[in-house]
Copies of this chain bind each other. A is one copy, B any other.
Amino acid sequence: MSVVELLKEKIRQEGRVISDDILKVDSFLNHQIDPILMLKVGEEFACRFAGSGITKVLTVEASGIAVALMTGLCLKVPVVFAKKKQPSTMEGDTYCGRVRSFTKEEVIDIVVAGSYLGPEDRVLIIDDFLASGEAARGLLKIIDQAGATLVGIGTVIEKVFQSGGETLREQGIRVESLVQIGSLAGGQVEFLN
């Protein structure tokens, strides 16, 4: 079974629709994590973005880390995760983006230390979900500040009805979503792929 079919099967079996906007998949993706499935997801992203000269995988803590790590493992490149707000041990130059969290209803700053991204980097953004695209925009701002090059965005589940992916693609950005969801209305997951 392809990783896309495996993910859809998991979503059918374990996903819970909390509202018309929120699909909970924390039994395998972002609270409890299925490491073997994550490795397959990483292999799939590495395959889709093969030959793009990627030097870094970039994500945001915490739920993006597992997918990003496996993608970095398969691409054999370092993974950087943006931290939410500036901890006391991160001094010196930092790149910063601002993100409105959809599920937590708050605005947070995400930061990456200046040492871990630079003009020589070709960056693949990886995240668990793509909804409104807020996290991606925060990471794009960080890549921009670093003078690095964006190769594309890989996301496990795209909630297409929240339009983040559409907006990013309209900007000419390559967005690869493994599972695309068209609607969660009435508690039903409607897959588009």
Contact = CB atoms under 8 A, between A and B. Distances in A.
Contacts of A103: 87-89
Contact of A32 (B31, B80, B88): B80
A113 B113 CA distance: 32
A72 B18 contact: no
Interface of A: 18, 22, 24, 26-28, 31-36, 38-39, 61-62, 65-66, 69-70, 72-73, 76-81, 83, 87-91, 103-105, 112-113, 115-116
Contacts of A80: 31-33
Given A39-B73, A62-B65, A116-B27, A32 B78 contact: yes
Given A38-B69, A61-B62, A104 B78 contact: no
A54 B168 CA distance: 42
Given A18-B89, A33-B79, A61-B61, A115 B69 contact: no
Nearest to A23: B89
B88 A33 contact: no
Nearest to A86: B104
Contact of A81 (B31, B87, B89, B112): B31
A108 to B, nearest CB: 12
Contacts of A73: 35-36, 38-39
Contacts of A34: 78
A113 B26 contact: yes
Nearest to A56: B32
A65 B36 CA distance: 15
B72 A87 contact: no
